[in-house]
Amino acid sequence: MTVLCRTLLAMSLLALPAAPAMASTSALVVGVDKYPHEVSLDGAVRDAQDVTQALKAADVAPIRQFINEQATKDAIRAAWGELVAAAERGDTIVFTYAGHGAQMPELVAGSEEDGLDEFLELPGFDRARAEETASEIIVDNELSAWFAEAEAKGIHVLFVSDSCYSGGMNRSISGKTRLAPMVRAKLPPPSKEALSGAKVRDVELSQVTILAASLESQPTPEVVIGGEPRGALSWSFARALEGAADRDGDGRISRVELEDYVFSNVKLQSEALQVPNFTPQLARSDKEIVLSLPRSAKVGVAPTVSGTKHALKSPRETGWTGNLPLSVVGDMPDLANIGGDGVPYRWEATSGVFYTPNGDVAAEHVAPKRLQGVVDKFILVDFLKALAAQSPGAVSLKPVKDIYFAGDRLNVEAPQGGYANMLVFNLANTGEAQLLDVQIAGSESHAFKLRDLEVVKPFGADHLVVIATNAPVDAIAAAFANSDLDAAALLRLLETRLEGSESTIAVQPLYTRGQGQ
């Protein structure tokens, strides 16, 4: 009888219509640090390896990875062709690139509005022998032809380019930028793919989404994240893949979810040096899905019962130690909570200037007795960044600049969130914590707005912080009334209340300088 039941069950299962195959995701990952004929980079390979690890954790397969000298155009083109051939309608291919980008006069006359082609520069390209080595660049029109191949099969493409093509910055950054010089030397006639790709218009690539590290008018710098040179876009994208962008925990990342997460975290990790750029600029629909990751909800931040708000993990689980690596030029004062690995902050005893690991001036005229307060401020900033990377909030500063000068006026705004409480404060470059607004459950809630704020001394790096939370904030607000509240004490208050809470955190860096500096 048991055998008969099993046989009938098997026959009934065979008679059922086949379930639709689940769409799959594959990936092509390229990272280049070593350029024999160009200034080499420091963080592009780390970016590629980080993205690959996050893809593997999300069960993405196959993944084709090309690092440094492995990144030849023929190898990358062949891998792309294999992924397209193996994919079926509705599948997704993720293509990420971390390395140098550059520009040159357009190869196909009239194909570019600005008369310039952008290209990804591979290790084998030598601008001194541009005509001979031109096969080791991937021109934007060629990428369009590649994407059109996938489009023709109904395959979704997400291209993430952590490189740059043009632009300049006002802030002094000690790290490298992923910008190679303009190529003006004569190149061979465009390839067949470049010719065909020049005819492809963006509107024809209806299933292709491109995420660039910055606007064409901006550089893409390598910044220090976790003590190491990295690309802020690649770092943020890897965290998104781990599930941090999947706010509703459904295992799928929508265009809106990816955009909200990446914009917030690139600004945060680059200290407001970059604004990412999506193509198309707006989502095609409110429910447009750019990635389906079966394991994203498992490897990321777990959703709460509400399904939309997330319980924050302790930053110590993500590598935050509560210490700050610091290099001192001159006599070392007696300081607490310093040490650790990675690129350090720096303080010059003679001038009193305090520098970030990126080389930015974070504070001026810092006397030895004030140094501990500045150290504690950046320990707190790192703590808040670790929380914000899990659940980013929103705050905007207008006009948008990488640096503001004395006399500039600006507006700050934070939207009203769906949380019971909101706390808005400034961490000044002097190390002081200044309460700007507090909204407590039961009181009237509102969007926070600070209008016509003028930039005045002291100059350096301020950090505006907006915490929207369901955790109680009464005691924190009361502590701000105490003039003795410093960054170290505020850290203790926040650490005990925010870990495990449903919260979002937004941090807006604000770098200022005197006129003529």
- Are the C-beta atoms of 68 and 81 separated by less than 8 Å? no
pLDDT on residue 212: 92
pLDDT on residue 295: 61
Strands 354-355 and 345-348: antiparallel
Question: For all residues of the chain together, what is the average pLDDT?
Answer: 88
CA 132 to CA 340: how far, in whole Å? Answer: 47
pLDDT on residue 87: 97
pLDDT on residue 179: 84
pLDDT on residue 174: 79
pLDDT on residue 188: 86
CA 193 to CA 144: how far, in whole Å? Answer: 8
Q: Where does the pLDDT of residue 308 fall: very low under 50, low under 70, confident under 90, or very high at 90 and above?
A: low
CA 515 to CA 517: how far, in whole Å? Answer: 6
Domains of the chain: 25-299 (3.40.50.1460), 315-513 (no CATH)
Task: Determine the angle formed by the axes of helices 368-388 and 255-269, rounding to 10 degrees.
Answer: 170
pLDDT on residue 181: 83
Q: Which amino acid is at 296?
A: S
**Least confidently predicted of 19-28, 92-101, 488-497:** 19-28
Q: Which of 205-209, 287-291, 301-305 has the highest mean pLDDT?
A: 205-209
Residue for token pair 């007696």: 334
pLDDT on residue 167: 63
Residue 50 pLDDT > 60:
yes
Which residue would you say has higher pLDDT here, 247 or 438?
438
Strands 25-31 and 92-98: parallel
Residue 16 pLDDT > 50:
no
Q: Which amino acid is at 111?
A: S
* pLDDT digit string, tens, across residues 167-208: 666 777 778 888 888 888 778 888 999 999 999 988 899 999
Q: What is the mean pLDDT of residues 312-336?
A: 95
Residue 444 pLDDT > 60:
yes
* pLDDT digit string, tens, across residues 108-158: 887 787 788 899 999 999 999 999 999 999 999 999 999 999 999 999 999
CB atoms near residue 251 (< 10 Å): 17
CA 430 to CA 366: how far, in whole Å? Answer: 8
The encoded tokens of residue 364 equal 């001026």
Residue 314 pLDDT > 70:
yes
Which residue would you say has higher pLDDT here, 15 or 373?
373
Residue 509 pLDDT > 60:
yes
CA 190 to CA 162: how far, in whole Å? Answer: 25
pLDDT on residue 285: 87
Residue 306 pLDDT > 70:
no
* pLDDT digit string, tens, across residues 234-273: 999 999 999 899 888 888 899 999 999 999 999 999 999 8
Q: What is the mean pLDDT of residues 391-401?
A: 92
Q: Which amino acid is at 50?
A: D
CA 116 to CA 141: how far, in whole Å? Answer: 11
Measured at the alpha carbon of residue 133, what is the angle toward residues 127 and 137, in degrees to the nearest 5? 85
Residue 20 pLDDT > 50:
no
The encoded tokens of residue 349 equal 């005893």
Peptide bond connecting 458 to the previous residue in cis, omega within 30 degrees of 0? yes
b/e 337-372 (16+ beta carbons within 10 angstroms → b): bbeeeebbbbbebeebbbbbbbbbbbbbebebebbb
Share of the chain above pLDDT 70, in %: 91
Q: What is the 3-state secondary structure (H, E, C) of 245-258?
A: CCCCCCCEEEHHHH
Residue for token pair 């194909």: 111
For residue 365, give every residue at least 6 positions away whose Cβ sits within 8 Å of its Cβ, in sequence order, or none.
Answer: 352, 353, 458
CA 148 to CA 208: how far, in whole Å? Answer: 9
Q: What is the mean pLDDT of residues 24-31?
A: 97
pLDDT on residue 310: 67
CA 27 to CA 30: how far, in whole Å? Answer: 10
**Residue 379: which of 445, 436, 335 has the closest Cα?**
335
**Least confidently predicted of 96-105, 183-192, 376-385, 457-466:** 183-192
Residue 436 pLDDT > 80:
yes
**Residue 294: which of 127, 499, 92, 486 has the closest Cα?**
92
Q: What is the mean pLDDT of residues 72-85?
A: 98
* DSSP states of 328-360: EESPPP--SSB--SSSPEEEETTT--EE-TTS-
